[in-house]
Structure 1
Amino acid sequence: MAAYRALIVEDTPEEAERLKAHLSRYASEHEDLSFSCQILGSALEFLEKRPAADIVFMDIAMPGINGMEAAEAMREKDPETPLIFVTDLAQYAVKGYQVDALDFMVKPVSYDDFSLRMGRAMRVLARRQGRTITISTTEGTCIVELSELLYVETYRHDVLYHLASGEVLRNRNSLASLERELAPQDFVRIAASHLVNMAQVTRVRKDSVVMTNGDELFFGRTRRKEALERLGAYIGGTI
């Protein structure tokens, strides 16, 4: 089942609850989908909290900072998350495409219209599924492209995420849960302490792999055979 995080930014509680109910109904009609839903009551709260989301529903006419201004600020740091404006201000439609809005829904949003437009949104989300990982750290939440993640290693009770940029992120997690999440995305567990991105391996040696940043990581005794088989299949183009 595909699980998505939906964020509703809407200052009118009735409209926010309407969208939340539509999401719930849409998920009930599509057994392979589920949504967790968070509601924020203002664009200012959205900009201050910047919660992680897979899709954002944004009202435009809000007091203070409006939804269009919030979307412009969002796009400066996040060019990809699908954004749908929910508004009765049709004159904003053209400007909306300047912030790469996926679609517009006109209030009050009927379920039929919502369902029709969600079909398009879900196709976009399906293409994006698995391309990023959300990493929560003490300094905030980071959304990282999997292509930028070199490898993950355990360190005491934490895990360290080594990025192509040289940055290392840290949080509390288990390598076992990360392995379940990342194994379908071309990651392989080579030791009890290391999970590597096969696309970032430049050399496979008898006892180790060398990553694109030059780090050499060693196979664990019990994982070497299976890891070599997966790496061989990946390099050979069979997975």
Structure 2
Amino acid sequence: MLRIAICDDMPNELQCLVSLTNQYISTQNLDAEITQFAHPDALLTAMEMQSYHLYILDIVMPMVNGLELGNVIRRLDREAQIIFATTEPQFALQAYAAAPINYLIKPIEKQSFYDTLALAISKADFAEEKTFAIKTSGSMRVIKLSDILFLEYGSHSVLFHLLNGEDVLSRTIRVSFSEYSAPILKDKHFMQCHTSFVVNLRRVERFSKDGFTLHGGKMVPIAAKQYPAVRDAYMDYLMAKGEQR
């Protein structure tokens, strides 16, 4: 399912964007869910528990403007598709720091909006969510790969650190960490950067020789001997994402 977040502090403008988006979804027969936010803080709070494939953002908003919001989204998710919709054309150059699909000027022209939505959706990765089943000490948990920050191996168990702050511990595993995490590593967004760590590259906010800094300030180390290979693989990943945009 395609998840769309629309944020605009002006009620009439918000409803206009929601209505246009709903019309497009209906005409294209898409499986999509729209969540609307009247304040950027509400969207930031929601993003602690949920990610979206597409964000449609006003720019002139209280407390956190759309440019700042777009930059936060880009730090949290390098693949999110962002559309700015605003009455203010002068912020266009600044807006491109967040690598948006388009910068639309209100009042929104319907066909231009539809064309932008079509482009954004064509680039969004919203195929059936990939999941992973974790056998814990007392049950089985099925989690979406997109909800994982990183995996950490220790004492023959794997600790899954999730985007919402929850940690899920597997029961004792009888294979190597690399074998256990192999199904996850088939996903292009994941990389084993250390004997005991697998990181979700979508959630990387900063990269250094010491490691990856993720959402919430959590750090995942990079094995010294693996650094050149990890660096090159991460640069290839970023270049691939840029080409897709």
TM-score normalised by the chain length of structure 1: 0.57
Superposed counterparts of 1:85-104, under 5 Å: 85-104=84-103
Q: CA deviation at 1:75?
A: 2.3
Identify the match of residue 37 of structure 1 among 34, 49, 53. 34
Query: C-alpha deviations, 1:95-125, integer Å up to 9, x for none?
Result: 1111111211211213212111111111101
Secondary structure of the structure 1 residue equivalent to 2:31 = strand
Structure-2 change in CA distance of 1:41 and 1:154 (3 Å): same
Is 1:6 the counterpart of 2:4? The answer is yes
Structure 1: gaps of 5 or more residues:
134-145, 172-194, 202-211, 215-239
CA distance in 2, matches of 1:157, 1:23: 40
Q: Aligned residue pairs: how many? A: 161
Q: CA deviation at 1:79?
A: 2.1
Superposed counterparts of 1:63-102, under 5 Å: 63-102=62-101
Query: C-alpha deviations, 1:13-69, integer Å up to 9, x for none?
Result: 1111111111221122112x1221111111222223324211100100012221111
Structure-2 change in CA distance of 1:106 and 1:158 (3 Å): same
Amino acid at match of 2:141: V
Amino acid at match of 1:46: L
Asked if the contact 2:2–2:126 (Cα under 8 Å) also holds between the matched residues in 1, the reply is no
Structure-2 change in CA distance of 1:48 and 1:14 (3 Å): same
Sequence identity (%): 19
Structure-2 change in CA distance of 1:14 and 1:123 (3 Å): same
2:160: which partner in 1?
168
2:135: which partner in 1?
153
Structure-2 change in CA distance of 1:89 and 1:196 (3 Å): same
Asked if the contact 1:154–1:160 (Cα under 8 Å) also holds between the matched residues in 2, the reply is no
Is 1:112 the counterpart of 2:116? The answer is no
Amino acid at match of 1:52: S
Is 1:52 the counterpart of 2:45? The answer is no
Query: C-alpha deviations, 1:103-158, integer Å up to 9, x for none?
Result: 11211213212111111111101xx234965xxxxxxxxxxxx7xx6x63355344
Amino acid at match of 1:37: I
CA distance in 1, matches of 2:19, 2:35: 12
Structure-2 change in CA distance of 1:49 and 1:102 (3 Å): same
Q: Which has the higher contact order (CA 8 A, sep 6+)?
A: 2
Query: C-alpha deviations, 1:140-177, integer Å up to 9, x for none?
Result: xxxxxx7xx6x633553441669544432588xxxxxx
Q: Pairwise CA RMSD of aligned residues?
A: 3.2
Structure 2: gaps of 5 or more residues:
154-158, 167-179, 187-193, 197-245
Secondary structure of the structure 1 residue equivalent to 2:122 = helix
1:124: which partner in 2?
123
TM-score normalised by the chain length of structure 2: 0.56
CA distance in 1, matches of 2:101, 2:161: 31
CA distance in 2, matches of 1:123, 1:58: 19
1:17: which partner in 2?
15
CA distance in 1, matches of 2:184, 2:195: 12
CA distance in 1, matches of 2:89, 2:128: 33
Query: C-alpha deviations, 1:74-93, integer Å up to 9, x for none?
Result: 22222221111111111111
Larger radius of gyration: 1
CA distance in 2, matches of 1:73, 1:103: 17
